[in-house]
């Protein structure tokens, strides 16, 4: 018979505790990355819908912004901050009788991370618990 060493009784429990902590940290990080990717994808879809709405002759910037926000609400993401800009990144107002042919539609949103991921990011040196997500597209007005 072999003799057991005295100090190895709880070794597997300690190893399991270390490994399960790392596993759950990666699992929470994976969920947060999925949330960020979904938010960006939904925001890009909302901006594309707004650009479609604006490209068929709707020159009212408030209506285009409302279309983007309504689409975002339908996809269950927070209401984005919508800007309609020219190519110098200057906000434009309603164009009326002399519309621009091309202009940009930009939407910004903030994704809040869960507390566990925020705590891990703080330990690693990144002091943020939110991510800023931006989607942008170009509108070309059709005659």
pTM for the predicted model, two decimal places: 0.77
pLDDT 10s digit of each residue in the chain, 143 long?
Answer: 566 556 677 888 899 999 998 898 888 878 888 888 999 999 999 999 998 888 887 778 888 899 999 999 999 999 999 998 887 888 887 655 455 667 889 999 988 877 766 666 666 666 567 788 899 998 877 66
Contact call for residues 137 and 51 (beta carbons, < 8 A): yes
82 vs 71: CA distance, rounded Å: 12
7 vs 63: CA distance, rounded Å: 72
List all residues 6 or more positions away from 107 whose beta carbon is below 8 Å from its beta carbon.
43, 46, 47, 50, 68, 72, 80, 81, 82, 83, 134, 135, 136
What is the structure's pLDDT at 66? Answer: 93
Contact call for residues 54 and 74 (beta carbons, < 8 A): no
What is the structure's pLDDT at 130? Answer: 78
Neighbours of 19 (CB within 10 A): 10
Contact call for residues 86 and 103 (beta carbons, < 8 A): yes
């Amino acid at each position: 018979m072999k003799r057991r060493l005295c100090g190895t009784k709880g070794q597997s429990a300690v190893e399991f505790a270390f490994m399960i902590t790392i596993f759950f940290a990666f699992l929470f990080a994976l969920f947060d990355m999925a949330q960020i990717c979904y938010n960006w994808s939904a925001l890009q879809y909302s901006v594309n819908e707004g650009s479609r709405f604006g490209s068929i002759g709707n020159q009212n910037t408030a209506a285009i912004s409302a279309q983007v926000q309504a689409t975002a609400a339908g996809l269950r993401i927070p209401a984005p901050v919508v800007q309609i800009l020219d190519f110098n990144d200057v906000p434009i107002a309603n164009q009326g009788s002399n519309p621009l042919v091309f202009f940009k539609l930009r939407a910004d949103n903030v994704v809040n991370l869960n507390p566990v991921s925020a705590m891990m990011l703080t330990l690693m040196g990144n002091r943020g618990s939110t991510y800023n997500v931006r989607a942008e597209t170009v509108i070309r007005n059709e005659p």
